[in-house]
Amino acid sequence: MAKRFLLALATVLLFPPALAQPDTARPPSARELGARFEEVKQDRKAAEALFKTGRKVAAVCAHCHGEGGNSLKPDIPNLAGQNPSYLLEQLRQFAEGRRRNEFMEGMIKAMNSDEKIGMVLFYAAQQVTPLPPPNAALAARGREYYDKVCFRCHGSDGRGNEQMARIAGQQPDYLRTTLRRYRAGNGVRVNPLMASNTRLMTDADIEAVVGLCCTNGGAVG
Ligand code: HEC
Ligand code: HEC
């Protein structure tokens, strides 16, 4: 597994993604992946085995997403503490081209179902490293906005739930870009709930919410 994986990474890093050699195996359908995930959740032994697989997979991802999924780059998302079903859904979106990022689309093609499930189990169990404390005034504005709109789905602490994305402690540049993409509706990230919840946001609202969410020390954390 590790060898095939490193090969995929090297291929993608050395050649433009369009030329990368995807795994020749048919990618698992969303239904197959979901069914396998349910099966693993009921089976402690299988979950433990896949957790170890996930740790190996994560060693490759660490080049960008950081050790244990705590990214050191503000424009690359943390995967640490992220919720498993949300992560699996993003993998499906990359695989199906519904979420656009050439590198990630190539990377996902090199993973089988068990590697995907192991990876999400591993990351969900990692602690998020707190980022530096927020600018208090900005975070207070962010809190006001967050408590009116975002808490309904992402929870008042920003941790989401099994299905819903965690946004507490997420990298600031990534959060800003992501919110702008949902708002722009340009097809890079498409989600009707996030489109309607960002439509009325001004740039200043986005900055304030990012100032709150990217910190792990504030009330969202
Ligand atoms: C070369 C850098 C790089 C490597 C290596 C990499 N990623 Fe990523 N990944 C990214 C970037 C950049 C994004 C953000 C894409 C976007 O939304 O524009 C991302 C996004 C993601 C997301 C979506 C996260 C979210 O919060 O929605 C998941 C899941 C993910 N990567 C999983 C992985 C896994 C699993 C691996 C290892 C097998 C991996 N990545 C390796 C760069 C990388
Ligand atoms: C009605 C429910 C709902 C509300 C309200 C909502 N969201 Fe979301 N949010 C979602 C869903 C569903 C997703 C996953 C979308 C996808 O798959 O791209 C998401 C995804 C996100 C992501 C991407 C996470 C990642 O790791 O890439 C961010 C950031 C985010 N929301 C921030 C916010 C903020 C900030 C607000 C308030 C302005 C907000 N959301 C309000 C449902 C909601």
CB atoms within 10 A of CB 43: 12
| CB 113, CB 30: distance < 8 Å | no
Q: Looking at ligand 1, which atom is closest to the CA of residue 119?
A: 35
Residue 129 lies in a domain: no
Q: Report which of residues 216 and 75 the model is more confident about.
A: 75
CATH number of the domain within which 69 lies: 1.10.760.10
The residue length of the chain stands at: 221
pLDDT digits over 105-163, tens only?
988 888 999 999 999 999 999 999 888 777 889 999 999 999 999 999 999 999 999 88
Q: If you search the block for the tokens 């709109």, which residue do you land on?
A: 149
Residues 161 and 113 in one domain: no
Distance CA 149, CA 128 (A): 24
Q: Is the CB of 75 under 6 A from ligand 2?
A: no
The pick from 107, 111, 179, 213 for probing ligand 1's pocket by mutation, whose C-beta has the most ligand atoms within 8 angstroms, reads: 107
Q: Is the CB of 95 under 6 A from ligand 2?
A: no
Residues 174 and 119 in one domain: no
pLDDT of residue 118: 98
| CB 177, CB 75: distance < 8 Å | yes
Residues 160 and 104 in one domain: no
* pLDDT > 90 fraction of the chain, expressed in percent and rounded: 71
- For CA atoms 35, 168, 152, 194, the dihedral sign is negative
Instruction: Count up the domains in the chain and report the number.
Output: 2
Residues 84 and 149 in one domain: no
Residues 169 and 195 in one domain: yes
Q: Is 14 exposed, middle or buried (0-12, 13-18, 19+ CB in 10 A)?
A: exposed
- Span of 4-8, 26-30, 131-135, 176-180 with lowest mean pLDDT: 4-8
Q: Average model confidence (pLDDT) for the chain?
A: 87
Q: Is the CB of 60 under 6 A from ligand 1?
A: yes
pLDDT of residue 60: 94
Residues 8 and 52 in one domain: yes
pLDDT digits over 9-58, tens only?
655 554 434 333 444 456 677 788 999 999 999 999 999 999 999 999 99
pLDDT of residue 29: 78
Residues 89 and 166 in one domain: no
Give pTM, 2 decimals: 0.90
| Cα 71-75-77 angle, rounded to 5 deg | 45
Range of the domain at 78: 2-124
Query: Separation of 120 CA from ligand 1 center, angstroms?
Result: 12
Distance CA 193, CA 153 (A): 10
